[in-house]
Structure 1
Amino acid sequence: MGPVVAALRRRPRLKVRVAVTGQHRELLDHTLAALGLVPDIDLDLMRAGEPHRRMLGAMLDSVAALLEAERPARLVVQGDTSSAWAGAMAANLCGVPLAHVEAGLRSGDLAAPRPEEGWRRAVTAVADCHFAPTATAAAALAAENVPLHAIHVTGNSGIDSLLGMAAQVAAIPSLGAAVAPFAASAGPRRIVTVTVHRREKDPAAMARVALALSTLARRDDVAVALLAHPAPRTRALARLLARERRVTVLPPLDYPAMVRLLRMSRLLLTDSGGLQEEAPALDLPVLVLRDTTERPEGVAAGCARLVGTDPGRIVAAAERLLDDPAAHAAMARARNPYGDGAAGERIAAIVARLHAGAAHA
């Protein structure tokens, strides 16, 4: 959302206020700082160990109270998080027009990912302006009878942030230096970066992923970096791999360090939606540790491949990319379908136009 906020604030006729719920506090503060984004309102709703259902109730109540107090002309939410859902439902309750950034992503399966697929569909139902990152996402919205005039293909603003940060990391060696010790220990070995945090990963699935990573880590030419995440599933995977000498569990990284790690990597294994978009922008092949994805564009373009959690399938796909330079180059050079770095400006221009139209209505 950072590029959208920046582009909106360049329009003096718009008064922009940024609110955060505090979801994923461990990651949020680092990311905001890296983007130079200071929230105007921090609801600070997250409490360690609090049941998800209670957190959702607190979010909905707090965001609704905020909207009643502020009475904004429009609320803009991004993505498929609990915060986006709470914002959308609160806007609907309060009669505030809603715009959804990253609209139209669909896996077609409410259980994968859960609850994100449900959140996305619910937000679509109450939004009146939908910023789809791709033509495929726009088509999904149209298939759900969203009016065509309300759908705008903009690219993904996350790519705007990524390209800007990648340029900074390339120019400033000290930026993202938290990964330097790992890079030094990896030496000439090729880095395979791994992130796993989805709720639908049951213990059996995590054991299968662990077996695949153990197999890859035994190669003399590979260093595996497993990114820690607040999700319990990531901690479980780290425990399964605790004895693997060539698997390094890295603490949660700030945004510059994460971008630097991706730039150093030879291959990414992930179940993250956002990383499926970001890695192709860095010419990094992606193996998706899921059976379905709401981001099929990368698979169609050839820069991502679905491998699920079967160990044999994961290892075979990874070793092909590690051992066959032509196969790696084909994925690395595939067209990035997710954006060109100008999504924030496109979104801001449309929001400003809607605001001007409402002011003259």
Structure 2
Amino acid sequence: MPNTLVPLPCPGAGRRVPEVCLIAGDAVAATRLAPVVGALRGRGRVRPVVLACGDDAAAATEVLSGFGLATEVLVELARDGQRTGRAAAQLLAGLDHAFADLAPDAVVVQGDSATAFSAAMAAFWQRVPVVHLDAGVRSYDLTAPFPQEGHRRLIAQVSSLHLAATPDAAANLGDECHRGPKVVTVGSTAVDAGFDALDRYVRHRDDRVQAVENAVVAGEVRLAVVAVEARDWSTAAATQLLHGIADLVLTCPDLEVVLPLPRGPLRHLAYDMLGRLVRVTITDPIAQPELVCLLSIAAALVTDSATLAEQAPSFGVPTLVLGGEPGTWAEPRHPGHPWTAGSDRAVVARIAEKLVLSHVERQTTAPTPNPFGDGFAATRCEQALQWFLGLDDRPEEFAPHR
């Protein structure tokens, strides 16, 4: 395609194996990249080099180690209130040196973080092709989320291969004139990561959570998992959410709620507001295998995590994604898609109750395929990278059944 930075065709048999750098800037990116790294290592035709970098490099490294993957920590920033632009500049300089030393054949970035943007620009300036995983996500509002929406659009401009999770994301890219064979719909690698995590599950480290799981499996209670990022919530919004959860528990007498939270202000607030409710279990953050196991048996999920929201339909679990203005809410556009709502007490309680009460009805109907992925996204990503590097045919694209 014209005006597209692409690598030269790979050398033939007997020559070096091409190297691809994958950039993990936080736990979310690590979770979504891990299946791709595993697929690349499994085939052995492309050598993956994992760089964990940015202010959340330690979290990324911990997640990747859970998948049995080693990392090379490049830059671990201590932000301490440092402005995003200054931190990104430091990261950009470090990545520029790394790409100059490694001379990779391509760089894979995931999502819309400042780390992904910095890595994409560093690679572009080194004339290294950029591959964007989870490309095409758009809000069409540069102020929300800020600065992520700007990062998404700018990364797209310098990317040579766009790996979109869904046909909707691919259509968004098409609207911006990113079309043709270098836009590949692969499905969400978060779904792959969820299945992998479930395979690694042994038991819960918290005996209280294990007791809840046992009761759910025995059919004695239903379960709602509430999983939110503590650092992203203001006190006012968190208060509304926790009031809504309390109302939900009081309305549904057979419902157990598991609420994992790190130690800090939000956890203290949760204990103050929910600590006297015997059917609410507040626990430390739960590792991916344990969390996905809970998700697989839950009646409903309440979260602000896109990763969990994309994994939930694989288990037939309806989801309420929290975000946006208080009092707002929207029903799913398609089967398997989540409800969305702001952090409003009445809305959270009402929609969550609706999802929990639909549990019996869902058990009597055929499951809806997950519209976000089928567990083979990483394989498609690996095949797309091979095609891009001149090693294989272009993969068949993910097409969810609706």
Indicate conservation of the 8 Å contact 1:113/1:199, yes or no. Answer: no
Deviates more, 1:250-259 or 1:216-225: 216-225
* Aligned residue number for residue 184 of structure 1: 211
Picking from 309, 316, 321, the partner of 1:288 is 321
Instruction: Quote the Cα distance in structure 2 between the aligned partners of 1:68 and 1:32.
Output: 24
- Measured against aligned partners, the alpha-carbon deviations of 1:14-45 in whole angstroms (never above 9, x if no partner) come to 23211111553564344212211111x11251
Match of 1:142 in 2: 174
Cα drift, residue 10 of structure 1: 3.5
**How many residues get paired?**
348
Question: For the residues of structure 1 that align with 2:126 and 2:161, how far apart are their CA atoms?
Answer: 17
Identity of aligned residues (%): 30
Aligned: 1:86 with 2:113: no
* 1:82–1:119 Cα contact (<8 Å) kept: yes
Aligned counterpart in structure 2 of residue 31 of structure 1, from 43, 46, 63: 63
Residue 370 of structure 2: aligned partner: 336
- 8 Å contact from structure 2 (residues 79, 87) kept in 1: no
Higher helix share: 1
TM-superposed CA distance for 1:334, in Å, is 2.9
SS at 2:258's partner residue? Answer: strand
Structure 1 stretch displaced more, 243-252 or 79-88:
243-252
Q: Quick one: which amino acid aligns to residue 356 of structure 1?
A: G
Which residue of the partner structure matches residue 19 of structure 2?
none
Quote the residue 2:298 is aligned against.
Answer: 265
Could you say which residue in structure 1 is the equivalent of 2:341?
A: 307
Secondary structure in 2 aligned to 1:145?
Answer: coil
Unaligned runs of 5+ residues in structure 2 are 1-32, 392-402
TM-score computed with the length of structure 1 as normaliser: 0.85
Q: Deviations over 1:279-336 (max 9, x none)?
A: 11122110111249xxx99642244212322221221122223334455559993331
Name the stretch that deviates more: 233-242 or 281-290. Answer: 233-242
Q: Which of 26, 51, 57 in structure 1 is aligned with 2:82?
A: 51
Give me the CA root mean square deviation.
3.0
Cα distance 1:195–1:102, how it changes in 2: closer, same or farther (>3 A)?
same
CA contact (8 A) 2:313 2:336 kept: no
> What's the TM-score, normalizing by structure 2?
0.77
- 1:99-248 counterparts in 2 under 5 A? 99-169=131-201, 175-184=202-211, 187=215, 188-197=220-229, 201-218=233-250, 219-228=252-261, 234-235=266-267, 238=270, 241=273, 243-245=275-277, 246-248=279-281
Match of 1:278 in 2: 311
> Which residue in the other structure is 2:3 paired with?
none
Amino acid at match of 2:296: R
- Kept after mapping to 1: 8 A contact 2:244/2:349: yes
C-alpha deviation, 1:267, in angstroms: 1.1
Q: Runs of at least 4 residues of structure 1 off by over 6 A? A: none
Higher relative contact order (CA 8 A, sep 6+): 1
Q: Which has the larger radius of gyration?
A: 2
Query: Quick one: distance in 2 between partners of 1:332 and 1:316?
Result: 25
In structure 1, what is the Cα distance between the partners aligned to 2:92 and 2:120?
9
Deviations 1:204-260 (A, max 9, x none): 322221210121233432222222259x88557536636443433322222212212
CA distance in 2 between partners of 1:124 and 1:101 (Å)? 10
Q: 2:109 touches 2:133 (CA, 8 Å); kept in 1?
A: yes
Q: Say if 1:114 and 1:179 are closer, same or farther in 2 by CA, change over 3 A.
A: farther
Aligned-residue offset at 1:114: 3.2
Structure 1 7/182 Cα, relative in aligned 2: closer, same or farther at 3 Å? closer
Q: 1:325 to 1:226 in 2, by over 3 A?
A: closer
The alpha-carbon distance between structure 1 residues 153 and 233, as it changes in their structure 2 partners (threshold 3 A), is: farther
Distance in 1 between the 2:140 and 2:366 partners? Answer: 27
Task: Kindly state the Cα deviation for residue 52 of structure 1 after the two structures are TM-superposed.
Answer: 4.7
Q: 1:164 to 1:9 in 2, by over 3 A?
A: same
Q: Residue type matched to 1:35 in 2?
A: F
8 Å Cα contact 1:298/1:336 also seen in 2 = no
Counterpart AA for 1:220 = P
**Contact 1:228–1:234 under 8 Å retained in 2:** yes
